[in-house]
A and B are shown apart, each in its own frame.
Chain A
Amino acid sequence: MRSSAGGGSAVLWHGLTSKVVIPAVLSPVIAGLVAAIGTWSLYRITRSLTQAARGHGFRIGQIGSACLVSLAHGTNDAQKTMGVITLALIANGTLAKGSNAPIWVIVSCAIAISLGTYIGGWRVIRTLGKGLVEIAAPQGMAAESASAAVILLSSAFGYSLSTTHVATGSIIGTGLGKKGAEVRWNVAGRMATAWVFTLPCSGLVGAAAYALAHAVNGTLGVIVILIILAALAGLIFWRSRSNKVDHNNVNAEWTGTVTPAEPEPAAAAS
Protein backbone atom coordinates (compact mmCIF):
# COMPACT_ATOMS: atom_id res chain seq x y z
CA MET A 1 0.00 0.00 0.00
CA ARG A 2 1.38 3.37 -0.91
CA SER A 3 1.24 5.97 1.76
CA SER A 4 -0.24 9.33 0.90
CA ALA A 5 1.56 12.66 1.20
CA GLY A 6 5.16 13.32 2.08
CA GLY A 7 6.82 13.10 -1.35
CA GLY A 8 8.79 10.31 -2.99
CA SER A 9 10.57 9.27 0.20
CA ALA A 10 7.27 8.18 1.76
CA VAL A 11 6.58 5.59 -0.95
CA LEU A 12 7.60 2.09 0.11
CA TRP A 13 9.08 0.85 -3.15
CA HIS A 14 9.93 -2.64 -1.93
CA GLY A 15 6.37 -3.27 -0.77
CA LEU A 16 5.01 -1.79 -4.00
CA THR A 17 7.21 -4.11 -6.07
CA SER A 18 6.93 -7.37 -4.13
CA LYS A 19 3.26 -7.07 -3.14
CA VAL A 20 1.78 -5.23 -6.14
CA VAL A 21 3.96 -5.05 -9.26
CA ILE A 22 5.36 -8.61 -9.34
CA PRO A 23 2.01 -10.28 -8.50
CA ALA A 24 0.38 -8.02 -11.11
CA VAL A 25 2.78 -9.32 -13.75
CA LEU A 26 2.82 -12.98 -12.71
CA SER A 27 -0.86 -13.54 -11.87
CA PRO A 28 -2.18 -13.16 -15.45
CA VAL A 29 0.48 -15.63 -16.65
CA ILE A 30 -0.50 -18.21 -14.03
CA ALA A 31 -4.20 -17.65 -14.71
CA GLY A 32 -3.56 -18.00 -18.45
CA LEU A 33 -1.74 -21.30 -17.94
CA VAL A 34 -4.54 -22.65 -15.73
CA ALA A 35 -7.20 -21.49 -18.20
CA ALA A 36 -5.37 -22.99 -21.19
CA ILE A 37 -5.11 -26.39 -19.48
CA GLY A 38 -8.72 -26.07 -18.30
CA THR A 39 -10.02 -25.18 -21.78
CA TRP A 40 -8.11 -28.00 -23.42
CA SER A 41 -9.44 -30.58 -20.94
CA LEU A 42 -13.05 -29.28 -21.06
CA TYR A 43 -13.16 -29.69 -24.85
CA ARG A 44 -11.35 -33.03 -24.63
CA ILE A 45 -13.72 -34.47 -21.99
CA THR A 46 -16.91 -33.28 -23.71
CA ARG A 47 -15.81 -33.95 -27.32
CA SER A 48 -18.58 -36.55 -27.84
CA LEU A 49 -21.33 -34.05 -26.97
CA THR A 50 -23.04 -31.95 -29.62
CA GLN A 51 -22.00 -28.34 -29.77
CA ALA A 52 -25.47 -27.33 -28.59
CA ALA A 53 -25.45 -29.71 -25.62
CA ARG A 54 -21.94 -28.59 -24.66
CA GLY A 55 -22.95 -24.95 -24.86
CA HIS A 56 -26.06 -25.64 -22.78
CA GLY A 57 -24.13 -27.49 -20.06
CA PHE A 58 -21.32 -24.99 -19.72
CA ARG A 59 -23.70 -22.03 -19.76
CA ILE A 60 -25.22 -23.50 -16.58
CA GLY A 61 -21.72 -24.00 -15.17
CA GLN A 62 -20.83 -20.42 -16.03
CA ILE A 63 -23.47 -19.13 -13.62
CA GLY A 64 -21.48 -20.70 -10.80
CA SER A 65 -18.05 -19.71 -12.10
CA ALA A 66 -19.15 -16.11 -12.76
CA CYS A 67 -20.44 -15.88 -9.17
CA LEU A 68 -17.06 -17.08 -7.95
CA VAL A 69 -15.23 -14.42 -9.98
CA SER A 70 -17.44 -11.77 -8.35
CA LEU A 71 -16.69 -13.23 -4.93
CA ALA A 72 -12.97 -13.29 -5.72
CA HIS A 73 -13.16 -9.69 -6.92
CA GLY A 74 -14.76 -8.74 -3.61
CA THR A 75 -12.00 -10.42 -1.60
CA ASN A 76 -9.22 -8.67 -3.50
CA ASP A 77 -9.81 -5.63 -5.75
CA ALA A 78 -12.79 -4.28 -3.88
CA GLN A 79 -10.83 -4.32 -0.61
CA LYS A 80 -8.44 -1.68 -1.95
CA THR A 81 -11.23 0.86 -2.35
CA MET A 82 -12.31 0.40 1.25
CA GLY A 83 -8.70 0.16 2.40
CA VAL A 84 -7.76 3.55 0.95
CA ILE A 85 -10.78 5.28 2.54
CA THR A 86 -10.25 3.57 5.90
CA LEU A 87 -6.53 4.40 5.90
CA ALA A 88 -7.31 8.03 5.14
CA LEU A 89 -9.79 8.11 8.03
CA ILE A 90 -7.19 6.59 10.37
CA ALA A 91 -4.49 8.98 9.14
CA ASN A 92 -6.86 11.88 9.78
CA GLY A 93 -7.52 10.64 13.32
CA THR A 94 -11.23 10.11 12.58
CA LEU A 95 -10.81 6.40 13.33
CA ALA A 96 -8.60 4.81 15.96
CA LYS A 97 -5.52 2.87 14.81
CA GLY A 98 -6.32 -0.75 13.98
CA SER A 99 -10.05 -0.21 13.56
CA ASN A 100 -12.06 -2.03 10.90
CA ALA A 101 -13.63 -0.36 7.91
CA PRO A 102 -16.83 1.35 9.11
CA ILE A 103 -20.07 -0.07 7.76
CA TRP A 104 -20.87 3.10 5.77
CA VAL A 105 -17.56 2.72 3.91
CA ILE A 106 -18.35 -0.93 3.10
CA VAL A 107 -21.90 -0.15 1.97
CA SER A 108 -20.99 2.90 -0.13
CA CYS A 109 -18.11 1.06 -1.83
CA ALA A 110 -20.36 -1.93 -2.55
CA ILE A 111 -23.08 0.29 -4.02
CA ALA A 112 -20.60 2.30 -6.13
CA ILE A 113 -18.93 -0.85 -7.49
CA SER A 114 -22.29 -2.49 -8.27
CA LEU A 115 -23.56 0.65 -10.01
CA GLY A 116 -20.36 0.91 -12.04
CA THR A 117 -20.68 -2.72 -13.05
CA TYR A 118 -24.31 -2.13 -14.00
CA ILE A 119 -23.62 1.00 -16.06
CA GLY A 120 -20.32 0.49 -17.78
CA GLY A 121 -19.69 -3.15 -18.44
CA TRP A 122 -20.55 -3.58 -22.11
CA ARG A 123 -17.41 -2.19 -23.69
CA VAL A 124 -15.16 -4.27 -21.47
CA ILE A 125 -17.31 -7.36 -22.08
CA ARG A 126 -17.02 -6.82 -25.82
CA THR A 127 -13.26 -6.24 -25.77
CA LEU A 128 -12.60 -9.32 -23.65
CA GLY A 129 -15.21 -11.76 -24.96
CA LYS A 130 -15.22 -10.77 -28.62
CA GLY A 131 -12.16 -8.68 -29.40
CA LEU A 132 -9.37 -10.45 -27.56
CA VAL A 133 -10.66 -14.00 -28.17
CA GLU A 134 -14.07 -15.04 -29.53
CA ILE A 135 -15.10 -17.12 -26.55
CA ALA A 136 -17.70 -19.88 -26.31
CA ALA A 137 -19.34 -21.16 -23.12
CA PRO A 138 -16.69 -23.82 -22.24
CA GLN A 139 -13.93 -21.23 -22.64
CA GLY A 140 -15.92 -18.78 -20.55
CA MET A 141 -16.23 -21.29 -17.75
CA ALA A 142 -12.54 -22.24 -17.97
CA ALA A 143 -11.48 -18.58 -17.90
CA GLU A 144 -13.76 -17.72 -14.99
CA SER A 145 -12.70 -20.74 -12.94
CA ALA A 146 -9.02 -20.00 -13.52
CA SER A 147 -9.50 -16.32 -12.62
CA ALA A 148 -11.52 -17.08 -9.50
CA ALA A 149 -9.02 -19.68 -8.26
CA VAL A 150 -5.95 -17.47 -8.84
CA ILE A 151 -7.55 -14.36 -7.31
CA LEU A 152 -8.89 -16.19 -4.25
CA LEU A 153 -5.52 -17.85 -3.64
CA SER A 154 -3.71 -14.54 -4.06
CA SER A 155 -6.11 -12.92 -1.59
CA ALA A 156 -5.28 -15.67 0.88
CA PHE A 157 -1.56 -14.83 0.51
CA GLY A 158 -2.19 -11.10 0.82
CA TYR A 159 -1.31 -10.15 -2.75
CA SER A 160 -3.12 -7.22 -4.19
CA LEU A 161 -3.89 -7.80 -7.83
CA SER A 162 -6.37 -6.83 -10.46
CA THR A 163 -9.33 -8.93 -11.56
CA THR A 164 -8.98 -7.30 -14.98
CA HIS A 165 -5.38 -8.44 -15.45
CA VAL A 166 -6.10 -11.95 -14.24
CA ALA A 167 -9.27 -12.30 -16.31
CA THR A 168 -7.43 -11.06 -19.39
CA GLY A 169 -4.64 -13.60 -18.82
CA SER A 170 -7.27 -16.32 -18.47
CA ILE A 171 -9.06 -15.32 -21.66
CA ILE A 172 -5.78 -15.34 -23.61
CA GLY A 173 -5.21 -18.79 -22.07
CA THR A 174 -8.58 -20.04 -23.32
CA GLY A 175 -7.65 -18.82 -26.79
CA LEU A 176 -4.39 -20.76 -26.65
CA GLY A 177 -6.03 -23.88 -25.17
CA LYS A 178 -8.70 -24.30 -27.87
CA LYS A 179 -7.79 -25.63 -31.27
CA GLY A 180 -8.55 -23.14 -34.01
CA ALA A 181 -9.18 -20.22 -31.68
CA GLU A 182 -7.43 -16.96 -32.42
CA VAL A 183 -5.87 -14.60 -29.90
CA ARG A 184 -5.79 -11.04 -31.23
CA TRP A 185 -2.41 -10.01 -29.82
CA ASN A 186 -2.79 -6.43 -31.05
CA VAL A 187 -5.83 -6.05 -28.74
CA ALA A 188 -3.84 -7.62 -25.89
CA GLY A 189 -0.95 -5.26 -26.63
CA ARG A 190 -3.19 -2.22 -26.54
CA MET A 191 -4.63 -3.33 -23.20
CA ALA A 192 -1.14 -3.94 -21.76
CA THR A 193 -0.07 -0.47 -22.89
CA ALA A 194 -3.06 1.00 -21.08
CA TRP A 195 -2.11 -0.89 -17.91
CA VAL A 196 1.46 0.42 -18.01
CA PHE A 197 0.10 3.95 -18.18
CA THR A 198 -2.61 3.65 -15.53
CA LEU A 199 -0.26 3.17 -12.56
CA PRO A 200 1.82 6.36 -13.05
CA CYS A 201 -1.26 8.25 -14.33
CA SER A 202 -3.31 7.45 -11.24
CA GLY A 203 -0.30 8.54 -9.18
CA LEU A 204 -0.22 11.85 -11.05
CA VAL A 205 -3.96 12.38 -10.62
CA GLY A 206 -3.62 11.62 -6.91
CA ALA A 207 -0.71 14.06 -6.60
CA ALA A 208 -2.58 16.76 -8.55
CA ALA A 209 -5.72 16.30 -6.43
CA TYR A 210 -3.63 16.53 -3.27
CA ALA A 211 -1.84 19.65 -4.51
CA LEU A 212 -5.15 21.28 -5.42
CA ALA A 213 -6.75 20.41 -2.09
CA HIS A 214 -3.67 21.80 -0.36
CA ALA A 215 -3.69 25.01 -2.41
CA VAL A 216 -7.42 25.76 -2.11
CA ASN A 217 -7.33 24.66 1.51
CA GLY A 218 -9.56 22.29 3.43
CA THR A 219 -13.12 21.34 2.70
CA LEU A 220 -13.52 23.78 -0.18
CA GLY A 221 -10.58 22.17 -2.00
CA VAL A 222 -12.10 18.73 -1.57
CA ILE A 223 -15.43 19.97 -2.94
CA VAL A 224 -13.65 21.57 -5.94
CA ILE A 225 -11.89 18.25 -6.68
CA LEU A 226 -15.16 16.37 -6.33
CA ILE A 227 -16.86 18.68 -8.84
CA ILE A 228 -13.97 18.40 -11.32
CA LEU A 229 -13.90 14.59 -11.07
CA ALA A 230 -17.69 14.32 -11.37
CA ALA A 231 -17.61 16.57 -14.44
CA LEU A 232 -14.87 14.46 -16.06
CA ALA A 233 -16.77 11.24 -15.28
CA GLY A 234 -19.92 12.78 -16.77
CA LEU A 235 -17.99 13.76 -19.90
CA ILE A 236 -16.63 10.22 -20.33
CA PHE A 237 -20.13 8.78 -19.80
CA TRP A 238 -21.65 11.22 -22.31
CA ARG A 239 -18.95 10.38 -24.89
CA SER A 240 -19.65 6.67 -24.45
CA ARG A 241 -23.36 7.20 -25.17
CA SER A 242 -22.74 8.64 -28.63
CA ASN A 243 -21.53 5.26 -29.91
CA LYS A 244 -23.19 2.95 -27.49
CA VAL A 245 -22.27 -0.68 -26.83
CA ASP A 246 -25.03 -2.62 -25.08
CA HIS A 247 -26.72 -6.01 -25.08
CA ASN A 248 -27.92 -5.45 -28.66
CA ASN A 249 -24.52 -5.17 -30.30
CA VAL A 250 -22.08 -6.56 -27.75
CA ASN A 251 -21.55 -9.69 -29.87
CA ALA A 252 -21.48 -7.93 -33.26
CA GLU A 253 -18.66 -8.81 -35.64
CA TRP A 254 -15.27 -7.57 -34.41
CA THR A 255 -13.94 -5.07 -36.92
CA GLY A 256 -10.90 -3.88 -35.04
CA THR A 257 -12.54 -1.46 -32.63
CA VAL A 258 -14.71 -1.81 -29.57
CA THR A 259 -17.54 0.14 -31.20
CA PRO A 260 -19.26 -1.96 -33.85
CA ALA A 261 -18.92 -0.41 -37.32
CA GLU A 262 -22.57 0.45 -37.95
CA PRO A 263 -24.58 -0.63 -34.92
CA GLU A 264 -28.17 -0.38 -36.19
CA PRO A 265 -28.00 -1.57 -39.84
CA ALA A 266 -25.42 -4.28 -39.10
CA ALA A 267 -27.55 -5.71 -36.30
CA ALA A 268 -30.62 -5.70 -38.54
CA ALA A 269 -28.79 -7.33 -41.45
CA SER A 270 -27.41 -10.25 -39.42
Chain B
Amino acid sequence: MSWINLSALWKILVFGLVAGAGLPALFAGGLYALSLGPHRARAATAGADGGDDSDVLVGGSIAGIVIAALCFLIVLAAIGWSIYEIYQIGHPAPAKK
Protein backbone atom coordinates (compact mmCIF):
# COMPACT_ATOMS: atom_id res chain seq x y z
CA MET B 1 0.00 0.00 0.00
CA SER B 2 1.85 3.07 -1.18
CA TRP B 3 0.93 6.53 -0.02
CA ILE B 4 2.72 8.48 -2.71
CA ASN B 5 2.78 7.45 -6.35
CA LEU B 6 6.30 8.61 -7.18
CA SER B 7 6.17 7.68 -10.86
CA ALA B 8 3.01 9.77 -11.32
CA LEU B 9 4.61 12.58 -9.32
CA TRP B 10 7.71 12.94 -11.50
CA LYS B 11 5.64 12.63 -14.66
CA ILE B 12 3.40 15.48 -13.48
CA LEU B 13 6.52 17.52 -12.66
CA VAL B 14 8.32 16.88 -15.98
CA PHE B 15 5.30 17.18 -18.28
CA GLY B 16 4.08 20.07 -16.15
CA LEU B 17 7.35 21.91 -16.79
CA VAL B 18 7.30 21.14 -20.53
CA ALA B 19 3.66 22.17 -21.02
CA GLY B 20 3.19 24.68 -18.20
CA ALA B 21 6.45 26.60 -18.56
CA GLY B 22 7.81 25.49 -21.96
CA LEU B 23 4.75 26.39 -24.03
CA PRO B 24 4.39 29.91 -22.56
CA ALA B 25 8.13 30.38 -23.10
CA LEU B 26 7.64 29.40 -26.76
CA PHE B 27 4.80 31.93 -26.92
CA ALA B 28 7.16 34.54 -25.44
CA GLY B 29 9.75 33.58 -28.08
CA GLY B 30 7.07 34.17 -30.70
CA LEU B 31 6.36 37.63 -29.25
CA TYR B 32 10.08 38.41 -29.33
CA ALA B 33 10.48 37.25 -32.95
CA LEU B 34 7.36 39.20 -33.93
CA SER B 35 8.81 42.38 -32.38
CA LEU B 36 11.96 42.29 -34.54
CA GLY B 37 12.26 44.75 -37.42
CA PRO B 38 12.15 48.46 -38.20
CA HIS B 39 8.90 49.26 -36.37
CA ARG B 40 10.08 47.60 -33.21
CA ALA B 41 8.80 49.06 -29.95
CA ARG B 42 11.94 49.80 -27.95
CA ALA B 43 12.14 49.50 -24.23
CA ALA B 44 13.24 52.71 -22.58
CA THR B 45 16.53 52.30 -20.76
CA ALA B 46 17.14 54.41 -17.70
CA GLY B 47 18.46 57.87 -18.56
CA ALA B 48 18.61 57.28 -22.32
CA ASP B 49 16.47 58.65 -25.13
CA GLY B 50 14.94 56.55 -27.86
CA GLY B 51 12.68 54.58 -25.57
CA ASP B 52 8.96 54.75 -26.16
CA ASP B 53 5.90 53.25 -24.62
CA SER B 54 4.47 51.77 -27.79
CA ASP B 55 2.49 48.58 -27.46
CA VAL B 56 3.03 47.65 -31.11
CA LEU B 57 3.62 43.91 -31.39
CA VAL B 58 4.72 43.56 -35.02
CA GLY B 59 8.22 44.87 -35.75
CA GLY B 60 8.00 44.23 -39.49
CA SER B 61 10.81 41.74 -40.11
CA ILE B 62 9.58 39.02 -42.50
CA ALA B 63 11.81 36.35 -40.95
CA GLY B 64 10.62 37.43 -37.50
CA ILE B 65 6.97 37.13 -38.52
CA VAL B 66 7.55 33.66 -40.02
CA ILE B 67 9.37 32.43 -36.91
CA ALA B 68 6.67 33.95 -34.68
CA ALA B 69 3.93 32.24 -36.70
CA LEU B 70 5.81 28.96 -36.35
CA CYS B 71 6.09 29.40 -32.56
CA PHE B 72 2.38 30.24 -32.18
CA LEU B 73 1.41 27.29 -34.43
CA ILE B 74 3.48 24.85 -32.35
CA VAL B 75 1.83 26.16 -29.16
CA LEU B 76 -1.65 25.79 -30.69
CA ALA B 77 -0.86 22.33 -32.04
CA ALA B 78 0.46 21.18 -28.66
CA ILE B 79 -2.71 22.45 -26.95
CA GLY B 80 -4.94 20.78 -29.55
CA TRP B 81 -3.07 17.50 -29.21
CA SER B 82 -3.25 17.60 -25.40
CA ILE B 83 -7.00 18.22 -25.48
CA TYR B 84 -7.38 15.29 -27.89
CA GLU B 85 -5.37 13.04 -25.53
CA ILE B 86 -7.50 14.12 -22.56
CA TYR B 87 -10.64 13.43 -24.55
CA GLN B 88 -9.30 9.93 -25.29
CA ILE B 89 -8.81 9.27 -21.57
CA GLY B 90 -12.34 10.41 -20.80
CA HIS B 91 -13.93 8.61 -23.74
CA PRO B 92 -11.99 5.39 -24.40
CA ALA B 93 -12.65 3.78 -27.75
CA PRO B 94 -15.24 0.99 -27.38
CA ALA B 95 -13.66 -2.44 -27.09
CA LYS B 96 -13.78 -4.49 -30.27
CA LYS B 97 -16.27 -7.31 -30.15
Residues of A within 8 A of B (CB): 14, 17-18, 22, 26-27, 30-31, 33-35, 37-38, 41-42, 45-58, 61, 64-65, 68, 71, 75, 138, 141-142, 145-150, 152-157, 159
Contact = CB atoms under 8 A, between A and B. Distances in A.
The interface residues of chain B, by DSSP majority, are classed as: helix
A65 B24 contact: yes
A52 B41 CA distance: 9
B53 A50 contact: yes
A34 B90 contact: no
B37 interface: no
A41 B21 CA distance: 8
Contacts of A31: 16, 20
B48 interface: no
Given A17-B3, A30-B13, A155 B23 contact: no
A57 B57 contact: yes
Contacts of B83: 71
Contact of A61 (B16, B19, B24): B24
Contact of B55 (A50, A138, A145): A50
Contacts of B8: 157, 159
B25 A45 contact: yes
Contacts of A33: 13, 17
Contacts of A18: 2-5
A157 B9 CA distance: 9
A164 B25 CA distance: 24
18 contacts: A30-B9, A30-B16, A50-B42, A50-B44, A50-B55, A52-B53, A52-B55, A53-B56, A54-B31, A55-B55, A57-B57, A75-B90, A145-B21, A145-B23, A149-B20, A150-B12, A150-B20, A157-B8
Which 6 pairs show the lowest CB-CB distances between chains A and B?
A149-B20, A38-B21, A52-B55, A45-B28, A146-B20, A149-B19
B24 A141 contact: yes
Given A33-B17, A42-B25, A45-B31, 18 more contacts: A22-B3, A34-B16, A41-B24, A41-B28, A48-B43, A50-B51, A51-B53, A53-B55, A57-B34, A57-B57, A58-B28, A61-B31, A64-B79, A75-B86, A145-B19, A146-B21, A149-B23, A156-B89
Given A61-B24, A68-B79, A48 B16 contact: no
B5 A56 contact: no
A155 B8 CA distance: 11
Given A50-B42, A142-B24, A150-B20, A57 B4 contact: no
